[in-house]
Amino acid sequence: MPYRFFSADGAAQYLHLSRADLDRLVKDREVPFETRGARTVFRKHDLDGWASRRLLDAGSGRQAGDWQRTCALVSGEPLLPDLIRPEQIDPAMRAKTKASVLRDLVAVAEATGWVCDPAELIASLEAREALCSTAVPGGVAFLHPRTQQADRFTTSFLVLGRTVQPIHYGAPDGQPTDLFFLLGCQEDRLHLHTLARLCLMAQKTDLLTQLRGASDSTAMCAALLADEQAVVGRGDRAGVSIR
């Protein structure tokens, strides 16, 4: 339901924020909200976009990083074993442009049989990238549709591509990107939790180095699952200091 509205309490619960933190964000106008009479309400569609952008930018501030960790570890259980298999990983993508990265990743996703409309998926990914790049420092990008729709996929999944040649994809550090995740989630909460966990793994483990050094898709998948287990297993430690 892309136009569902939350109350302040509902928005705080949805985002895994304290009510005090949400009120501060509203006061500073750092989170999208609307005023209806004496009520402050939050459009779910707007919150999803805000949350995705904030998760990708969590490395730039301690508070955002703490929130990313909370979202990443809220389930306390591994997420990736249900989302990715070796056949959903392309270890040698030939893409050399943004457009060809999208096409190649969607082709891998389409091969799973879980994508209902590949052309619509590409259009939604393009719309999301038009807002701001999903590439982050470290040479990795986390592509996802602008909105999450239950009828876009028949099940939730994750796709990963490693390009033969790094390409400039708009990362804030100006460096090229060679690792591209595509998140295909039917449900918004799963999307946020998965995005947060992947970002945390990229920052707090040696995952990116392992993915670049892996010999094939099977080794890349094994690295993903092992590093997620390490993050989940140490999630109760301050800072999740694995590196």
Q: Are residues 87 and 173 in the same domain?
A: yes
Which tens digits make up the pLDDT trace of 111-128? 999 999 999 999 999 999
60 against 143, higher pLDDT: 143
| Residue at 232 is within a domain | yes
Cα separation, 181 vs 212, in Å, equals 13
Residues 145 and 188 in one domain: yes
pLDDT in tens, 128-177: 999 889 999 999 999 999 888 889 999 999 999 999 999 999 999 999 99
- Residue 122 in any domain: the answer is yes
Instruction: Indicate if 84 and 48 belong to the same structural domain.
Output: no
Residues 49, 94: one domain? no
Query: Whole-model pTM?
Result: 0.86
Give the C-alpha separation, 122 to 163, whole Å. Answer: 18
Integer Cα distance of 73 and 76 in angstroms: 5
Residue 127, phi-psi category: left (phi > 0), alpha (psi -120 to 50), beta (remainder): alpha
Which residue type sits at 151?
D
Report the SS3 class of residue 184: strand
| Residues 31 and 86 reside in one and the same domain | no
Is residue 108 domain-shared with residue 19, that is, in the same domain? no
- The more confidently predicted of residues 211 and 11 is 211
Domain match, 162 and 51 both: no
In-domain check, residue 152: yes
The distance in angstroms from the start CA to the end CA of the chain is: 39
In this structure, the chain runs to a length of 243
Q: Determine, yes or no, domain membership for 63.
A: no
Share of the chain above pLDDT 90, in %: 61
Asked whether residue 75 is assigned to any structural domain, the reply reads no
Please tell me whether residues 50 and 159 are part of one structural domain: no
Look up the domain containing 44 and give its range. Answer: 5-56
Residue pair 197/191 in contact by the 8 Å Cβ criterion: no
Q: In total, how many domains does the chain have?
A: 2
